[in-house]
C-alpha cells in the first residue's frame, strides 16, 4: 500500500494505491510501445487532445487543488495558480502543434552536383517514442502528471508513462484521471499509457526497452540513481534531468544604494515563497560592501527574523534542510544572520534561515539547500563576482540588480556561460511559460542543449528522419509538395505557412 | 614520433610529428577556453572565415589529395571528390550562418498575466564552448580536421581542438595548416585552437574542463573508451558519436523481377566503393525468394567474384575485417557466396566478400564488417523483413527498392523507428550535404536527436540562453528590437528576415 502524508501534521494515511508490480510495469510499457507503433498522428488531432486536457484541468481545478494541498501543504493560492499554469502549458503546446515549426520540415529538391545527380532529401522531426515522465515533489501539477514533460511529450506525439511522486500519490492518481477523462473524448487517447507507483517501478521503467526518453525533476542523487539504471540498458536513451541550482543573485553598488528595501522585500518573497522549494530560488545572494549593502542585508535579515514558519513537502526535504544548513554553518563557517523563532516540532515544519559566508568559502562550498534558506556573501569588486560564479556549479539562472548603465552590466558576458537564463532587476522564481522561455543550463542545472519549460521543450522528444527520393505516399503529410500549412524550408529558403507549396515546372 | 603508414605496402615512415605532451594538451585546451571567453562573434565574420577556409581547401586540393592518398590509399578520384565536399561543407555553413535561423532567435514581449506582469523574455542559441573534434580514419577530409564537425562548430562560433587520426597524421597536419592559413587572413583565427596527436592526448582532451562537447566518428569500442573517459568528468558534456551501422537494404519482389541486374550493379558499387569503408555501406541485403531474387543474388555474386582486391586504411581494419568475416562464417553459419581471388599479402589488402546467412541468424548475429563485405539474406514475406530490422541494432539508413505502388511500401512505417534516413530506389552511400540532410539515427547509429551531416548539425554545438528584462546593451545584436536581418519569432509568431523589427507604440 502507498501512504499519503499530511505535511502539516506529519501523519500518514492509507490510500487505495499500491506499488506497481513488475509485471504491470511491463504491461504499461508495452502499451506505450503499441501506441508508438500506430500510424502517424495528425497534428490537429494532437492539438485537440492538448486543449481538451487544458479544459479538464480547469474544470476540475478545485478538486485537484484540494487534493494537492492536503498532500503538499503548498497552500490554495499557490496551487490554484500552479493548476492554471498547468492548463496554460497544455494550451501553449496545442498552439505549438498547430503552428508546426517544431517539426522543422525541410525539403531539398533533386539537382545536379559535380559528382552527378543529387537525390531529393525531405526531413522532418518525428516522435522519439514512449517517454517516462517522473513527477516532482515541489510542483504537483506543473512538473508532474499534468506537467510540462507530459504536455511536450504529447505535443511531440509520444506516448507517456507517468511515475507518481511519493509526496503526492493521490494527486497523481487524480491527475491521471483528468488526463484519461479528457483523452477519452478525443483521438490519441492511447498516448496516455499509464502510471506507475514506487521507486522500484520507476527504476524498472527507465530500463524497459520500450522507453525512449526520460523526463525527470528532482535531486542530483535521485537523478544519478536513475542515470545509473539507464546506463545498464543496451541502448542508451536521453535523460532530461532538472537537478539542483544555486541561482546566484547579484546586487550592484548602485542598486543597493537606491533600492535596498525594495530588493529586500522582493528577495525575501523569492527565497521563501512556496517554502523555498523552487528550483529557481536565489540560493546565493552577492551584496556589495558599504552602507547600501549593509542596509539591504539588515532589511533582508529583519524579514527573516519575523518570517512565519514554513512547512516543507516531506520528511526527506526537512531532514536534508537541517543537514545542509548544519553543514554550511558548522563545516563551512556560515554565520546565522537571521532565523525565525518558530516551533519546528509539528509536521514537516522548518525555520526560515539566512546565513552569511565569506566569498571564497561560497565559491568552494555553496550547495543547494532546498527550503526557505539563502546564503549572503559580500563582495568588493566585480572580479570577485566573476570568480565566485565561475567556481560554483552552473545554475538555471543568474540575476543582476542594476541601475541604468550600471558598471555591473560589464560582467554579464562572463556570467552567461554559467547559467541558462539571465534575469535583470527581478527575481528568477515565477518562470514565465512562453515561446522564448529557456529553463535549463549547463550541468547540473539540467540538459545544456534543451529546456524543460517553454515551447521549445518539445524538441527533447522529437528526432529527425530524412526520406530520400521517397514516393509521396510514404511521406508525412507535412512533407508533401502541395502542403503549405506550416513553415517549411525548401532548398534552403524558409517559407511561412501558406507560401511554401512546391510549384512544379517553374 | 608519430609514424605514417602506406596502406598499399604496409610500410611505415617517420614524420616530424610527436604525440602531444600532457602539458601541451592543457595549453591548447586553455587557448580554446580563452577564445570561448572573447566577446560575441559577429555572424558575418564567421561566414567570412568559413568561406575563406573553403577557398583555401580548393586552392590546395591537389596537395591535400596527394598527401591523403599516400596515407589512406583511397585513390585520387574519391579524394578529389571528398576534398570538394569538405570545401562545400564550409560554404554551406557560411550560408547557414548568414541566414541566421540556426540561432532560433525569439522574443516574448512583456505583458499581463493572471498572476501579474509577465516579464519580457528573449532567447537565442549561443556557442556551447570549445569542441574537441576527433578525425575519422575513413574520411581524411570530410569527417576529419577539415570535416563537418569542424565546420559546424566554427559556424556555431565555438573554438575547436582537433584530434588527428593515426591513419593520416600528415594529412591532419597539412589540414591544420589549411585552416590556420585561411583563418590568418580573417577575424576569429583564435577559434582554431590547435591539434593533438596520440591516443593518450585524445583521452586527456575529452577530460579537460575547458572542453564543452566532443564530435567523434569511429568504432563503437573506441567510442565507448572515450565515453568512459568523459564519464569521469565532474560535469558531463555532450558526446556526438558516429559509430557502427548495418544499413539494411531491402529489394521488393517486383524490383527483383524487373531490374535485378541494375540493382546488382548499384549495390556492388555501394558495398565496395571506398573499399567498403563507409558508415552508410549497405551491410545487410534482404532479397526475396524466387527467380528474380535468385538472378539478383547471382548477378551480385558474379561481380564480387571478379572484384579487384581492396586496400583498407590500416592494419586494425584489416585484422578486424578478417575476424568479423570469420566469426560470421564459422560462428554463425554464413556461407560464402563469392569472394574475389586476389592476393591478400601486400599492405592492407583484403578480399571483397559476399556471404549468405539465414534470416533468423541475421537478426541475432549480424554485425558491421567494415570493408568490402555484405551479408545477403532471403525473405519470404514482409513480416520477416520487419522482424529482422526490429531485432537488429538500429542503423543510419534503411533502403528499399520498389516498383510503383509496391506492396513493400506498406512496411515503411515499421522501419522508420530503426533508422535516421530512409532511401528509396537508390543507395545509402554518397550522402548529400544539404539543408535537409539527416545523418544519425537511434543508438548506436549516432545521437538520436541530432545529425553529423547537413545544416542542422550546427545545433549540436549551440545552447539556449534566455535574457529576462535585459537592457538592450547586454543583448546579442540579433535580439535587439530594431534588428531584423534574420528570421525571428516574436510573441510566438515567426517573421522572415527583413520583417521582424519590433515596432513600438503600435
- pLDDT tens per residue, range A178-197: 999 999 999 999 999 999 99
pLDDT in tens, B421-434: 999 999 999 999 99
- Please give the average per-residue pLDDT across B89-94, as a whole number: 98
pLDDT score, position A342: 65
Minimal CA separation from A201 to chain B, in Å? 24
- pLDDT of residue A164 exceeding 70: yes
What does the DSSP 8-state code read for residue A382? H
For A274, phi and psi rounded to 5 degrees? 55, 35
The structural domains of chain A, with segments of one domain joined by +, span 21-107+120-243+452-460, 248-424
**The model's pTM:** 0.97
User: Rounded mean pLDDT of B104-118?
Assistant: 92
Percent of chain B surpassing pLDDT 70: 98
Instruction: Identify any residues that bridge with A423 across adjacent strands, giving them in sequence order.
Output: A399, B468
Output the nine-digit C-alpha cell for A41: 498522428
Q: Cβ B437–A466 below 8 Å, yes or no?
A: yes
Cα separation, B256 vs A207, in Å, equals 41
Nearest CA in chain A to B435: A492
Q: What is the pLDDT of residue B505?
A: 55
Q: Which of B184, B173, B161 is nearest to B63 (CA)?
A: B173
The CATH homologous superfamily for domain A21-107+120-243+452-460 is Aldehyde Dehydrogenase; Chain A, domain 1 (3.40.605.10)
Per CATH, which fold does B3-244+452-460 belong to?
Aldehyde Dehydrogenase; Chain A, domain 1 (3.40.605)
pLDDT of residue B342: 65
Catalytic positions of B are: 242, 279
Distance (Å, rounded) from C-alpha B288 to C-alpha B296? 9
What is the dihedral angle through the alpha carbons of B167, B169, B170, B176, rounded to the nearest 10 degrees?
A: 130
Label residue B222 by pLDDT band (50, 70, 90). confident
Quick one: which H or E segment has residue A339?
Answer: strand A335-339
On the question of a cis peptide bond just before residue B444, with omega within 30 degrees of 0, the verdict is: yes
> What is the rounded average pLDDT for all residues in chain A?
95
pLDDT tens digits along B133-170: 999 999 999 999 999 999 999 999 999 999 999 999 99
pLDDT-based confidence at A12, cuts 50/70/90?
Answer: very high
**A506 pLDDT exceeds 50?**
no
- Tell me: pLDDT of A445 over 80: no
B248-424 domain in CATH 3.90.1150.10? no
Give a three-class secondary structure readout of A19-32: CCCHHHHHHHHHHH
Answer whether residue B392 shows pLDDT above 80: yes
Q: State whether A469 and B424 contact (CB < 8 Å).
A: yes
Q: Is the pLDDT of residue A453 over 90?
A: yes
C-alpha cell at B280: 552508410
Q: From the candidates B107, B110, B220, B434, which should be mutated to test the interface with A, based on the most A CB atoms within 10 A?
A: B434
CA A335/CA A328 separation, integer angstroms: 9
Least reliable range by pLDDT among A80-89, B6-15, B221-230: B221-230
pLDDT of residue B506: 44
Residue B469 to residue A423, Cβ atoms within 8 A: yes
Condensed to tens digits (0 to 9), the pLDDT of residues A20-72 reads 999 999 999 999 999 999 999 999 999 999 999 999 999 999 999 999 999 99
Strands (E), A1-48: 3-5, 12-14
| Cβ-Cβ contacts under 8 Å, A426 against chain B | 119, 468-469
pLDDT in tens, A382-425: 999 999 999 999 999 999 999 999 999 999 999 999 999 999 99
Any idea which of A390-399, A437-446, A485-494, B62-71 has the lowest mean pLDDT? A437-446
Contact indicator for A399, A282 with CB cutoff of 8 Å: yes
Which carries the bigger pLDDT value, residue B334 or residue A60? A60
**pLDDT confidence of A95, banded at 50, 70, 90?**
very high
DSSP string, B48-66: HHHHHHHHHHHHTHHHHHH
Residue of B nearest to A438 (CA): B466
Amino acid at each position: 500500500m502507498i501512504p499519503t502524508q499530511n505535511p502539516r501534521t506529519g501523519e500518514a494515511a492509507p490510500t487505495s494505491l499500491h506499488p506497481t508490480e513488475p509485471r504491470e510495469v511491463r504491461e504499461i510499457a508495452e502499451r506505450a510501445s503499441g501506441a508508438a507503433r500506430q500510424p502517424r498522428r495528425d497534428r490537429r488531432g494532437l492539438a485537440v487532445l492538448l486543449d481538451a486536457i487544458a479544459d479538464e484541468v480547469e474544470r476540475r481545478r478545485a478538486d485537484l487543488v484540494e487534493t494537492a494541498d492536503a498532500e503538499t501543504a503548498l497552500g490554495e493560492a499557490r496551487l490554484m495558480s500552479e493548476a492554471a499554469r498547468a492548463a496554460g502549458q497544455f494550451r501553449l503546446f496545442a498552439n505549438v502543434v498547430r503552428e508546426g515549426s517544431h517539426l522543422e520540415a525541410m525539403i531539398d529538391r533533386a539537382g545536379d552536383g559535380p559528382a552527378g545527380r543529387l537525390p531529393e532529401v525531405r526531413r522532418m522531426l518525428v516522435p522519439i517514442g514512449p517517454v517516462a515522465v517522473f513527477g516532482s515533489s515541489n510542483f504537483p501539477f506543473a512538473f508532474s502528471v499534468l506537467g510540462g514533460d507530459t504536455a511536450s511529450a504529447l505535443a511531440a506525439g509520444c506516448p507517456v508513462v507517468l511515475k507518481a511522486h511519493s509526496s503526492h500519490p493521490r494527486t497523481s492518481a487524480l491527475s491521471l484521471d483528468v488526463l484519461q477523462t479528457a483523452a477519452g473524448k478525443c483521438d490519441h487517447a492511447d498516448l496516455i499509457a499509464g502510471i506507475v507507483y514506487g521507486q522500484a517501478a520507476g527504476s524498472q521503467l527507465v530500463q524497459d526497452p520500450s522507453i525512449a526518453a526520460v523526463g525527470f525533476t528532482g535531486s542530483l542523487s535521485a537523478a544519478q540513481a536513475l542515470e545509473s539504471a539507464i546506463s545498464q540498458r543496451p541502448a542508451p536513451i536521453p535523460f532530461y534531468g532538472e537537478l539542483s541550482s544555486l541561482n546566484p543573485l547579484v546586487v550592484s553598488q548602485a542598486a543597493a544604494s537606491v533600492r535596498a528595501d525594495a530588493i529586500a522585500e522582493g528577495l525575501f518573497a523569492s527565497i521563501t515563497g512556496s517554502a523555498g522549494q523552487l528550483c529557481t530560488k536565489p540560493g546565493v545572494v552577492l551584496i556589495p560592501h558599504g552602507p547600501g549593502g549593509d542596509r539591504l542585508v539588515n532589511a533582508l535579515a529583519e524579514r527573516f527574523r519575523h518570517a512565519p514558519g514554513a512547512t516543507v513537502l516531506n520528511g526527506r526535504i526537512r531532514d536534508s534542510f537541517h543537514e545542509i544548513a548544519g553543514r554550511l554553518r558548522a563545516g563551512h563557517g556560515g554565520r546565522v544572520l537571521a532565523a525565525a523563532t518558530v516551533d519546528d516540532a509539528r509536521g514537516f515544519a522548518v525555520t526560515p534561515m539566512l546565513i552569511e559566508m565569506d566569498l571564497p568559502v561560497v565559491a568552494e562550498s555553496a550547495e543547494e539547500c532546498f527550503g526557505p534558506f539563502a546564503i549572503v556573501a559580500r563582495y568588493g569588486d566585480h572580479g570577485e563576482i566573476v570568480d565566485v560564479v565561475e567556481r560554483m556549479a552552473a545554475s538555471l539562472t543568474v540575476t543582476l540588480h542594476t541601475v541604468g548603465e550600471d558598471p555591473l552590466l560589464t560582467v554579464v558576458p562572463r556570467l552567461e556561460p554559467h547559467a541558462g537564463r539571465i534575469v535583470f532587476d527581478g527575481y528568477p522564481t515565477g518562470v514565465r511559460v512562453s515561446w522564448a522561455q529557456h529553463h535549463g543550463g549547463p550541468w547540473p542545472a539540467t540538459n545544456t542543449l534543451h529546456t524543460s519549460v517553454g515551447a521549445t521543450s518539445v524538441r527533447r522528444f522529437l528526432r529527425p528522419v530524412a526520406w530520400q527520393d521517397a514516393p509521396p505516399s510514404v511521406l508525412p503529410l507535412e512533407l508533401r509538395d502541395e502542403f503549405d500549412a506550416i513553415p517549411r524550408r525548401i532548398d534552403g529558403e524558409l517559407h511561412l505557412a501558406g507560401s511554401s507549396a512546391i510549384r512544379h515546372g517553374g
